[in-house]
Structure 1
Amino acid sequence: MNKKNIVLFVADQMRSDSLAHMGNTASITPNLDKLAKEGISFENAYCQNPVCVPSRCSFLTGLYPHTTGHRTMHFLQREDEENILRKMKQNGYEVIWIGRNDVLPSGMPKTEYCDEFYNGLDQLNRVNPEGLSESSFFKQSGDYMKGFTRPEFMKDVSPYSFYLGRQDSELAEQGFDYNCIQSALDYIDRRTKEGSEKPFLLYISLIYPHPPYVCSDPWYSMIDRTKLPEKRPDVEKLKDKPGMLYGIREKQELKSWTDQKYDELRATYLAMVSQFDEHYGIISDKLKASGLYDETSIFVFSDHGDYTGDYGIVEKVQNCFEDPISNIPLIVKPSASYNVKSRISPALVELLDLPATISEIAGIDLGYTQFGKSLIHTFNGDDEHKDAVFCEGGRLHGEVQAMEGGHGPKSHYWPRLSTQCEEGPQHTKACMIRMGNLKYTYRLYEKDELYDLDKDPMELRNAIDDPAYSERLTEMKARLLQYYMETGDFVPVKRDAR
Structure 2
Amino acid sequence: MEAITGIGPMKTPNILMIMTDQQRADSMGYAGNKPSDTPNLDRLARQGAIFENAYSSSTSCVPARSSLMTGLLPHRVPTVDSNGRKSAGLGLSLKPGQWTIARALRDAGYETALFGKMHFHPMHADHGFDVMHMCEHLPAGYAENAEDDYRKWLTSTGREDTRFVRASTPRPFPYEAEYHPTNWIKRHSLDFLANRDSSVPYFAIISFTAPHTPYDPPEPYASMYRPEEQEIPAKGIEVNAGLPAPLLDAVMAEGKRRSLTPRRVKEHTELHVREVLAAIRASINCIDAAIGEVMEKVDLNNTIVFFLSDHGDYGGHRGLLGKTPWIPFDDLIHVPFFAVGAGVTPGRRIREPVQSFDYVATALEYAALEPPVADMESASLLPLLKGAAPDNDRPVFSGTLEGWPMIRRGRFKDIWHSGYDVHALFDLESDPDESVNLAEDPAYASLIAENTKILKAILAKQPVSEPDNGAAAFRKASGR
TM over 0.5: yes
CA–CA separation in structure 2 for the residues paired with 1:43 and 1:482:
27
Per mean C-alpha deviation after superposition, the further-off stretch among 229-238 and 181-190 is 229-238
1:436-484 residue CA offsets vs partner (Å, 9 max, x unmatched): 1111011023432111112221112222112232232223223323434
State the secondary structure of the residue aligned to 1:10. Answer: strand
Quick one: which of 197, 200, 203 aligns to 2:199? 197
CA–CA distance in structure 2, aligned partners of residues 220 and 438 of structure 1: 39
* CA deviation string 1:58-79 (max 9, x = no partner): 1110111112366776431101
Q: Deviations over 1:278-332 (max 9, x none)?
A: 1111100122xxxx33211101101111112211221113740111110001110
Match of 2:302 in 1: 295
Q: Distance in 2 between matches of 1:341 and 1:383?
A: 15
Matched to 2:183, the amino acid is Y
In the other structure, the counterpart of 1:269 is 280
Equivalent position of 1:238 in the other structure: 241
Q: Residue 432 of structure 2: which of 436, 454, 457 is its match?
A: 457
**For 2:188, what is the secondary structure of its paired residue?**
helix
Which residue number in structure 2 is paired with residue 143 of structure 1? 162
Give the secondary-structure state (helix, strand or coil) at the position aligned to 1:280: helix
Q: Give, in angstroms, the shift of residue 182 of structure 1.
A: 0.5
1:106 aligned to which of 118, 122, 132:
122
The residue correspondences of 1:149-228 to structure 2 (distance < 5 A) are 162-168=168-174, 170-191=175-196, 196-223=198-225, 226=229, 228=231
- CA distance in 1 between counterparts of 2:253 and 2:377 reads 34
1:117 to 121, 132, 154: 132
Q: Distance in 2 between matches of 1:246 and 1:444?
A: 20
Tell me which amino acid in the other structure corresponds to 1:433: I
**Distance in 1 of aligned mates of 2:378 and 2:177:** 37
Opposite residue 101 of structure 1, the aligned amino acid is M
The 1:264/1:136 distance shift into structure 2, 3 A limit, reads closer
Q: Name the CA distance, whole Å, in 1 between partners of 2:344 and 2:427.
A: 35
Question: Contact 1:39/1:332 (CA < 8 Å) preserved in 2?
Answer: yes
Q: Could you tell me which of 387, 404, 408 is aligned with 1:430?
A: 404
Determine if the alignment matches structure 1 residue 34 to structure 2 residue 43.
yes
Q: Secondary structure at the match of 2:440?
A: coil
Q: Residues 14 and 302 of structure 1 are in contact (CA less than 8 Å); yes or no, is this contact kept in structure 2?
A: yes
* CA–CA distance in structure 2, aligned partners of residues 45 and 393 of structure 1: 17
What's the counterpart of residue 476 of structure 2? none
CA change 1:174–1:20 in 2 (3 A) is same
Residue aligning to 1:8: 17
How many angstroms apart in 2 are the aligned matches of 1:136 and 1:182? 12
User: Which consecutive residues of structure 1, in runs of 5 or more, have no partner in the other structure?
Assistant: 122-129, 147-158, 395-426
In 2: Cα distance, 1:206 partner to 1:320 partner = 24
Q: CA deviation at 1:135?
A: 10
Distance 1:132 1:233, change over 3 A: closer
Q: 2:182·2:286 contact (CA, 8 Å) conserved in 1?
A: no
Q: SS in structure 1 opposite 2:390?
A: coil
Q: State the alpha-carbon separation in 2 of the partners of residues 36 and 107 from structure 1.
A: 31
Classify 1:483/1:109 alpha carbon distance in 2 versus 1 (closer, same or farther; 3 Å). Answer: closer
Paired positions, count: 429
Equivalent-residue separation in structure 1 for 2:31 and 2:135 (angstroms) = 29
Pick one of 389, 407, 426 that aligns with 2:396.
389
- Cα RMSD (Å) of the superposition? 2.9
Structure 1 SS opposite 2:211 = coil
The partner residue of 2:265 within 242, 254, 257 is 257
Q: Is the 8 A contact 2:414 2:423 kept in 1?
A: yes
- Residue deviations 1:371-412, cap 9 Å, x none? 211010001333514521000023xxxxxxxxxxxxxxxxxx
Which of residues 443, 457, 460 is equivalent to 2:417? 443
Asked if residue 285 in structure 1 is aligned to residue 313 in structure 2, the reply is no
The answer to whether 1:247 aligns with 2:253 is yes
| Cα distance between partner residues in 1 of 2:463 and 2:348 | 36
2:97 paired with 1:80: yes
Give the match's secondary structure for 1:197: coil
Equivalent AA in structure 2 for residue 432 of structure 1: M
- 2:46 touches 2:346 (CA, 8 Å); kept in 1? no
- The aligned counterpart of 2:84 is none
CA contact (8 A) 2:67 2:77 kept: no
State the distance in 1 between where 2:149 and 2:41 align. Answer: 31
Cα displacement (A) at 1:189? 1.5
The answer (yes or no) to whether the contact 1:10–1:206 under 8 Å persists in 2 is: yes
Q: Structure 1 residue 490: deviation in Å?
A: 4.5
- Mapped to 2, the partners of 1:440 and 1:64 lie a distance apart of 17
Where does residue 483 of structure 1 map in the other structure?
458
Counterpart CA distance in 2 for 1:367 and 1:69 is 14
Distance in 1 (CA, whole Å) between partners of 2:170 and 2:456 is: 44
Matches within 5 A, 1:52-63: 52-63=61-72
Q: Distance in 2 between matches of 1:249 and 1:383?
A: 42
Q: Of residues 345, 349, 352 in structure 2, which corresponds to 1:347?
A: 352
Q: Aligned partner of 2:455: which letter?
A: L
- How is 1:346-385 mapped onto 2 (pairs within 5 angstroms)? 346-369=351-374, 370-385=376-391
Q: In the alignment, what sits opposite 1:151?
A: none
Provide TM-score, normalisation by structure 1.
Answer: 0.79
- Scaled by the length of structure 2, what TM-score is found? 0.81
Amino acid at match of 2:161: G
Give the whole-Å Cα distance in 1 for the aligned partners of 2:293 and 2:91. 34
Whether 1:97 and 2:102 are equivalent positions in the alignment is: no
Deviates more, 1:21-30 or 1:303-312: 21-30
Aligned to 1:328: 335
CA distance in 2, matches of 1:27, 1:165: 22
Cα offsets for 1:68-103 (capped at 9, x unmatched): 36677643110132110111111100001111121x
Q: Distance in 1 between matches of 2:232 and 2:100?
A: 38
Q: What is the distance in 2 between the residues matched to 1:261 and 1:383?
A: 45
